[in-house]
Amino acid sequence: MVALNPIALASSALASAALALALTPMVIRRHYALGIAGRDVHKPSAPLVPEMGGLSIVASTTVGSVVVALMVPEVRVHALALLAAFLLAAAIGAYDDLRGLRPKVKTALTVVCCTPLILASLVPPHAVVIGRPTLPLVGPLRLTVIYWLLLPLAVAVPANAVNMMDAFNGVMPATCLLACLSLFASGLVSGRWVAVYLTPPLMGSLAAYYLYNRYPARVFSGDVGSLAVGAALGAVAVLAGLEVVGIVALMPHIANAFHSLATVKRLFERRELNERPVLVRGGVLEANPSPSAPLTLANLILSEGPLTERELVRCFVALSALCSALAVVTAALMEVRL
């Protein structure tokens, strides 16, 4: 049983938020100077925006997680395993941003990010217990083989799903912050303190970073940010035994990834698409009605008519808020047996 340490929670969240607030403007200036910038294709003027702003999320979350590891010895191994998975995903994302990786290679590499979680559970003192998920309305399950076969996907799927939804200003930090909040609340509801301690550093970073990434974005996260944040969410869900809660909280991201992949029928990069899911007409965004356009969540939302980017982002946030609330209900249902 881990005692709740509010000072550790507040310190880790505040440390990471302060660092993200301080680092992001520096990253913006540095990336302008180095020419690491991409076009914001959803604006009529397609302005150049610095990429790889996710570096500030990576640095600030790392510091916040170290604060947790130092202040709460009971979750030290969990925090270090999470940090290792997070940094592995960030390294893959950074390489992709700078050099470019083929979609299949990138996805295969993110599968490796679950290694620190497996090692933390296998290596003494076995502080991390994984492989016994609790399902809502069903109770704890002992999956001796299937769980370990699916475990690599538990980090790779959220990492790539979050990466695929990072297409509009502010969507990644806002929706992931909501998912993080739901894991934190689910941890409180179900008494899984690992989730309560591991989420504040990420919440602090994302909240501060959102101020720079919100519409109109002054910086893009790049794969370094989105892959790392997605991997961290998956890792927290696994380490806290909140796998189903994580799936529900990330349902918009998973829906976006699953339905686009099901339309295109292969792994893809946005730049290699023949038909974009969203068309820019003047100041508004429209769904591409072509049956071969990827059926992304944006395409789905815009199927009922055009919206401005700001309105579209509000829809994303509203749907994420709903799924985050459903995730907390799911956590409460973990204590209910049919």
Partner 1 sequence: MGRLVRLAGVMTLTWASLLLLLVAFERLIAPMPTLPDHLGGPLATGVLKPLLALALASLWLYAWRSLIKLYRRRALRRWTR
322 binding partner 1? (CB under 8 A): yes
Q: Quick one: tokens of 112?
A: 């490796």
Q: Quick one: tokens of 195?
A: 């989730």
146 binding partner 1? (CB under 8 A): yes
Distance in angstroms (rounded) separating the CA atoms of residues 199 and 184 = 6
- Element housing 281 (H / E): strand 278-281
User: Do 13 and 202 touch, CB atoms closer than 8 A?
Assistant: no
Choose between 119 and 146: whose C-beta lies nearer to partner 1: 146
Distance in angstroms (rounded) separating the CA atoms of residues 286 and 298 = 9
Choose between 25 and 131: whose C-beta lies nearer to partner 1: 131
Choose between 46 and 141: whose C-beta lies nearer to partner 1: 141
Distance in angstroms (rounded) separating the CA atoms of residues 224 and 98 = 10
Q: Other C-beta atoms within 10 Å of 92: how many?
A: 25
Among left, alpha and beta (phi > 0; psi -120 to 50; other), residue 151 is alpha
Distance in angstroms (rounded) separating the CA atoms of residues 232 and 198 = 9
Residue from 170, 222, 252, 294 binding partner 1 (CB under 8 A): 252
Choose between 73 and 289: whose C-beta lies nearer to partner 1: 289
332 binding partner 1? (CB under 8 A): no
Region from 73-81, 100-108, 169-177, 243-251 binding partner 1, contact rule CB under 8 A: 243-251
User: Do 91 and 225 touch, CB atoms closer than 8 A?
Assistant: no
Choose between 63 and 183: whose C-beta lies nearer to partner 1: 183
How many residues interact with partner 1 (rule CB under 8 A)?
A: 34
255 binding partner 1? (CB under 8 A): yes
Q: What angle do CA 153, 158, 162 make, to 5 degrees?
A: 150
Tell me the per-residue interface mask from 268 to 297 with partner 1, x by CB under 8 A, - otherwise.
-------------------x-x-----x--
For partner 1, the binding residues in 151-190 under the rule CB under 8 A are none
Residue from 29, 70, 141, 292 binding partner 1 (CB under 8 A): 141
For partner 1, the binding residues in 203-242 under the rule CB under 8 A are none
49 binding partner 1? (CB under 8 A): no
Choose between 55 and 248: whose C-beta lies nearer to partner 1: 248
Three-state helix/strand/coil letters over 144-213: CCHHHHHHHHHHHHHHHHHHHHCCCCCHHHHHHHHHHHHHHHHHHHHCCHHHHHHHHHHHHHHHHHHHHH
Residue 333 beta carbon to partner 1: minimum distance, rounded to whole angstroms: 7
Distance in angstroms (rounded) separating the CA atoms of residues 235 and 274 = 34
Choose between 22 and 143: whose C-beta lies nearer to partner 1: 143
Residue 289 beta carbon to partner 1: minimum distance, rounded to whole angstroms: 6
Distance in angstroms (rounded) separating the CA atoms of residues 211 and 30 = 18
Residue from 36, 138, 273, 332 binding partner 1 (CB under 8 A): 138
Residue from 56, 61, 175, 330 binding partner 1 (CB under 8 A): 330
259 binding partner 1? (CB under 8 A): yes
DSSP 8-state secondary structure symbol assigned to residue 99 = T
Chain residues binding partner 1 by CB under 8 A are 135-138, 141, 145-146, 244, 247-248, 251-252, 255, 258-259, 262, 287, 289, 295, 299-301, 303-305, 315, 318-319, 322-323, 326, 330, 333, 338
